Structure formats: C-alpha cells, structure tokens
Amino acid sequence: MKKIIVPIAFFILSATAGKAQTIIPAQYQELVKKLVASLPKEDKLSSNNSSAKQSESLIDFAKSMLGIPYRYATSNPKIGFDCSGFVSYVFSNFGFKVPRSSREFSYAGKETSLENAKVGDVLIFTGSNSRIRRIGHVGIVYSIDENGIKFIHASSGKVHQVTITDLDGHYKARFLKIVSIL
C-alpha cells in the first residue's frame, strides 16, 4: 500500500512544485485520479483497527472448524488436522506464509510475552510431557479476558479434535513461548 502511495504523492508534488510545470497533462490527471480512487479508504485507527479486524476474521475462520477430528500429519479440513496443520491452514487462508511444523513456529513472527498477548497470536508448547522442553504443540490465542487466555487448537488429547481450551495448569506447564504473526 505504502509502495503505491509514495510514488503517487511524489509524482503529484513534483508535477505541481516546479514553476515550469504549472499544468499536469490531462492524461496524467486522469491516471492520478484513478489511482487515488482505487486506494482503499483507511480508518483513523488503521493499524490497530485493521489488526483487530484481521484477528477477528482469523478467529471466526478458525472457529468454523471446531469439531474437525485430530489427524496426525494432516492439514486438510475434509480429513482432519494435527496441531500445526490447523494453525498453518488458518493463517495461510489469510495469505500468511507460516511454517507447517510446530517446531518451526518458534522462528515465525515476532516473539512476545503472555502479558502482551493478543487474539490471533500463536502459543507454542512442549509435547505432552512438559519435562521434555522441546516444541511439540501449537495453538492460536482465541480470547483474553479476566479469566485468562483461551486458545483454539487441534488436540490429540481426550477430545481428539479442533477445540477451545483454557491456558491452565496443564498447558501453562507446557508453555514455551508466544509469537505474533499478525
């Protein structure tokens, strides 16, 4: 977006700044009008607002897959998801290039803290044994409120499907880090 606006603004300013260039040729006036008209309208709180809208859309999309069964090494909603397959499927639907493996999510996005977590961030956990501090599970922050953080993920546990879970004692013990993709 900024890559388009800057050249247009430079063209307009340079065309109107010089004394010898007091009139822009009609063909360029029309071109500039069309380019400016095709630019999306931005809200006053554009970055925060669009980020909030994007995370809301991302969560709505993820929520539409609740109940899809867990299936190891799969990222197809018709068959099932493993944890990283689910997370990568959700983000790739919004044009983000994210890893397919839970271990690689450690290098994706920007690391943040639980205190600064936002809806849409990716939580990274150990595998089912919290004493082995190696990445083995990922999920997406679903909600944050006075009761804590909930996340949506493809669980291989009892529910064995895409579900929403509290970041409680069990998962808190397995927590390794959180990264922001949006």
Task: Return the amino acid letter for 59.
Answer: I
Which of 86, 88, 136, 153 is labelled catalytic?
A: 153
Whole-angstrom Cα distance, residue 180 to residue 45?
20
pLDDT in tens, 86-103: 999 999 999 999 999 999
pLDDT in tens, 106-154: 999 999 999 999 999 999 999 999 999 999 999 999 999 999 999 999 9
Q: Which residue has the tokens 């999510």?
A: 105
83 catalytic? Reply is: yes
Which of 59, 83, 124, 149 is labelled catalytic?
A: 83
The pair of structure tokens assigned to 98 is: 């994210």
170 catalytic? Reply is: no
Cβ pair 139, 165 in contact under 8 A: yes
- Whole-prediction pTM value? 0.73
Q: State residue 51's pLDDT score.
A: 79
Cβ pair 163, 152 in contact under 8 A: yes
Q: State residue 50's pLDDT score.
A: 77
With CA atoms as reference, report the closest residue to 106 among 131, 69, 133, 75: 133
Q: Is 178 helix (H, G, I), strand (E, B) or coil?
A: strand
Which of 86, 91, 137, 171 is labelled catalytic?
A: 137
With CA atoms as reference, report the closest residue to 92 among 80, 76, 69, 107: 76
Please, what sign has the CA dihedral across residues 132, 111, 113, 158? negative
Check residue 7 and report its DSSP letter. Answer: H
pLDDT in tens, 5-63: 655 655 555 555 554 445 667 766 666 666 666 665 544 334 456 778 899 999 999 99
Cβ pair 80, 155 in contact under 8 A: no
Q: State residue 43's pLDDT score.
A: 41
